[in-house]
Amino acid sequence: MRLQYSILPILFCLLAACSTTQMTDTWQEPEFHRSDMKNVLVVAVASNTTNRFLFETGFINALVQHGINATASFTVLGDEMPTKEGVQAHLDKTQYDHIIVTALGGVDIETDYVPERVRSYYTGPYYPHWGGYWGGGNTVTMTREAYTDTQTNVLLTTSIYTLPTGTLSWVGRSKTFEVGSVSDVADSLAKQMIRNIKH
């Protein structure tokens, strides 16, 4: 059976913030176990070479921490965006037991309007005696202007296929809130994936 999956462009936003990844839903083949993954190929379907390098590297680092031998596709397929034919040709001459493919499922931009806020503060002096409260003081009014708070969330679909049959063994959809960096997304996603795969 030939490996089947869609090749879609993947785009990660590099924003100055912390990343938090949550798995929104998963499916697992009953006979598949995390311990089955011993030698895997990791493919980030990304047209941007830098993003692909950072994502696959971050993903692999997390897998290695769990004792899983992993290979980044950019090290064996080159810098160009991976194609189904190119991946299949490489799989035909190698001995991987699984392939992990991650593709962009969408970008969700949440925008919240924060209204103007006005506060008044009393700025009277320090009173060493209770009688000092009678007397002058000043009131300062501070205004925080209204602003728009925008949060960019990345939706990813990650699939694990068992080789050489190419059958789907696990799939999960994830949502990463406030993307900090491609490496952060990859590391967080890989760890979430491993935690969600049943032994």
pLDDT digits (tens, 9 = 90+) for 39-92: 999 999 888 888 899 889 988 998 999 999 999 999 999 988 888 899 999 999
Domains of the chain: 20-110+151-196 (3.40.50.800), 114-144 (no CATH)
Q: What is the mean pLDDT of the chain?
A: 78
2/85: higher pLDDT: 85
pTM equals: 0.70
Residue 27 binned pLDDT confidence (cut-offs 50, 70, 90): very high
Q: Residue range 105-123: average pLDDT?
A: 70
Query: pLDDT digits over 133-171, tens only?
Result: 445 556 666 777 777 877 777 788 899 999 999 999 999
Q: Is the pLDDT of residue 8 over 70?
A: no
Alpha carbons 183 and 14: distance in angstroms, whole number: 10
Q: What is the mean pLDDT of residues 34-41?
A: 94
Tell me: pLDDT of 5 over 60.
no
